[in-house]
Structure 1
Amino acid sequence: MKMTRRAIVAGLAAAPLLSTPARAASGGSITRLHPALDALIDPTSAVEVIASGYRWTEGPVWVRDGAYLLFSDVPANVVYSWTRGNGARPFLSPSGRAGPIPPGIREAGANGLALDADGALIVADSGSRAIARVALATKRKTILADRFEGKRFNSCNDVAIGPGGAIYFTDPPYGLTDGDHSSLKELDFNGVFRLLPGGAVELIDRSLSRPNGVALSPTGDRLYVACSDEKRPEIRGYDLAADGSATGLGRQLVDFSAEFARKLPGLPDGLEVARTGHLFASGPGGLYIIAPDGTKLGMIAVGKAIANCAFGEDGKTLFLTASNMVARVRLKVSGW
């Protein structure tokens, strides 16, 4: 989810690429980095802004039963819904922590969102420092987990639903005013976790300084974690056993060090995995389209950091949350 503002405000730098970016009507662009991109998206496709005026948009998820998009404005503590014709309207407020916000909480709202098999909204509740479940019909919230080994989470950031209903999530310190130095921080690490349906919380990795976005392969045999560490901006892959448990500490799949060194805006953040196995992942400069082997095929840019993405509508629309706005672009293939 959140990244350092130093990375966000950096200007978009020029770089040698395989083709010139195709300017879209809204000012966005799609750059081809590899010929294989053309099978997934037309580089001349328009990047359309559909909503704007927010503080920091995140956590997009498409609700098929009702045909609407949900997305978070984390600092504002609101989840919005967007539909064609009606635009964006508040859906859940507060989206995260309710009541007075105590000192030391930097971002009170919900961050990453996902839908479980029953159609309920699973929320990485940064302000409440918990993983929560929200019934869409009643908007009733239930806290599923807020501690590991008796200690409060830092500020839960992103979620992904695995086979059998397990919830994979990341827990960096972005929601705390003083980050790792916060007096509210109880864990001495920033972890990647798995929450089992029965309520048990398992630690997958405690070695990452800034675990962020999280996603699963279509077959559920690999977990992807974006790392927003300025010293090691990357996406890591973790092999999963048949029961969904991680079999090791993972390995680097995508390295964004060169792009970050060019001061492109943003860091590795949110990501989605298409049914083809391709990753759609934010990184320095925009939203990258990445082959299953880690090859960067192309990049969608809007001139500012892109935090996250989601497939929606018929599966061929890619929604992007980017700083103060939400955009969409059409794909040639369905993400579902």
Structure 2
Amino acid sequence: MKKYFSLSVFCLLAIIMTSFGQIEDKRGLVAKGAELVKVRDDFSFTEGPAINRQGDVYFTDQPNDRIYIWNPNSNQISLFKEGAGRSNGLYFQLDGTLIAAADLNNELWAIDPKSGKETVLVPSFRGKKLNGPNDVWVRPGGGLYFTDPLYPRPYWEGIRGKEMEQDGQHVYFLSADRAELFRVAEDLKQPNGIVGTPDGKLLYVADIGDKKTWRYDINEDGYLTNKTLFCEMGSDGMTIDDRGNVYLTGKGVTVFDKKGEQIAHIPVPENWTANVCFGATDRRTLFITAMGSVYTLKMKARGVW
């Protein structure tokens, strides 16, 4: 989750997660004989994995204010950007621009993938600071959706560190031409993970505060309709595969099919699994961020662009 855990919570989760179980896979999503591989474990709290066209995965170490790159060919990790605005969720536009939910100053950023230079896309809403943009998804036809829950940060000062300026925790849409910014979901407790289908027709939003994930129809103008309960589980981060299965995180990775039926569970030996995406050029490597570590798992299912 996008907040720092107290010692008591760590202890409770440690008890829950001490037994590292076997992968449950009803539909053959995981490659035969595949095992979870720890790539590195010297971070503070990893988040926001996002794949570029070359199959590299960018991810954040949020407390240390850095963005890293995992190269699937070498299985090596390199530093991309320091001073990353405390970026959390990431997502690539089709033109290669990296979109980042940067909650140092409660902003949404666009980052040049070559220079690392950032541009602030969303500094505020209706003249007030956002709570802290958290996760983001870019739709194929342009425009993007992002969640804005409140997780008070130790680096926020004064009243801003205790109270939100917005009147709730909502989901927003920013048009492709950046001319329009408006709310598309205002009735959720704490929206967090977000992902859409590759045809741009459906959007999944995890309300981690209400332990539910919702599915919406996406209108051409960006508004959402036909809110439908997808499953009785919230999520921190999310991804989707070429079969339309939705991957939720928290206690490992839990996979649901299009109908909202649980079809797989991937245990991860950490207190919390924050986020997930498909990496590598064939998009058949599941890349998992969990606490101070990152993991990979070979898959039969394939990620979508």
Q: Same fold (TM over 0.5)?
A: yes
Query: Which of 133, 139, 146 in structure 2 is aligned with 1:162?
Result: 139
Contact 2:130 2:148 in 1 (8 A): yes
Unaligned runs of 5+ in 1: 15-20, 22-26, 97-108, 257-266
> Residue 321 of structure 1: which of 286, 289, 300 is its match?
289
1:30 to 3, 6, 23: 23
Conserved in 2, the CA contact under 8 Å of 1:116 and 1:161? yes
Secondary structure of 1:11's aligned partner: helix
Query: How big is the shift at 1:138?
Result: 1.2
Partner AA of 1:222 in structure 2: L
Give the superposition deviation at 1:125.
0.6
Q: For residue 208 of structure 1, what is the amino acid of its counterpart?
A: L
Inter-partner Cα distance in structure 2 for 1:172 and 1:291: 26
Q: In 2 relative to 1, CA 44–122 (structure 1 residues): closer, same or farther, beyond 3 Å?
A: same
Q: Of the candidates 62, 68, 78, which is equivalent to residue 66 of structure 2?
A: 78
Partner of 2:177: 198
Normalized against structure 1, the TM-score is what?
0.81
Assess if the C-alpha contact under 8 Å between 1:212 and 1:269 holds in 2: yes
Task: Please list the CA deviations of residues 137-190 of structure 1 after superposition, one character each: whole Å capped at 9, or x if unmatched.
Answer: 111110111222221111110000013211100011115448998456211211
- 2:130 corresponds to which residue? 153
* Deviates most, 121-130 or 85-94: 85-94
1:254 equivalent in structure 2: 231
Once the two structures are superposed, residues 219-241 of structure 1 have per-residue CA deviations (whole angstroms, 9 ceiling, x without a partner) of: 21111111221xx2121111212
Partner of 1:75, secondary structure, is helix
Tell me how far apart the structure 2 counterparts of residues 62 and 181 of structure 1 sit (CA, whole Å): 33
Amino acid paired to 1:327 = Y
CA contact (8 A) 2:175 2:222 kept: no
Deviation at residue 326 of structure 1 after TM alignment? 0.4
Aligned to 1:124: 101
Pick one of 245, 249, 266 that aligns with 1:282. Answer: 249
Q: Give the deviation of 1:69 after TM superposition.
A: 1.8
SS of alignment partner, residue 297 of structure 2: strand
Q: Per the alignment, do residues 125 and 175 of structure 1 end up closer, same or farther by CA in structure 2, a change over 3 Å counting?
A: farther
What letter is aligned with 2:100?
V
Out of 32, 40, 44, the position equivalent to 1:55 is 44
What residue number does 1:335 align with?
A: 303
Which of 253, 264, 268 pairs up with 1:298? 264
Contact residue 51 and residue 87 of structure 1 kept, 8 A = no
2:294 counterpart letter in structure 1: V
Percent sequence identity is: 29
Q: CA deviation at 1:44?
A: 4.5
Q: Count residues with an aligned counterpart.
A: 294
Deviations 1:68-123 (A, max 9, x none): 22110111100011224362222110111xxxxxxxxxxxx100011001101010
Distance 1:8 1:195, change over 3 A: farther
- Considering only aligned residues, what root-mean-square deviation do their CA atoms show, in Å? 2.4
Question: Does the aligned pair in 2 maintain the 1:222–1:239 contact within 8 Å?
Answer: yes
After superposition, residues 84-95 of structure 1 pair within 5 angstroms as: 84-85=73-74, 87-95=76-84
Residue segments in structure 2 that go unaligned for 5+ positions in a row: none
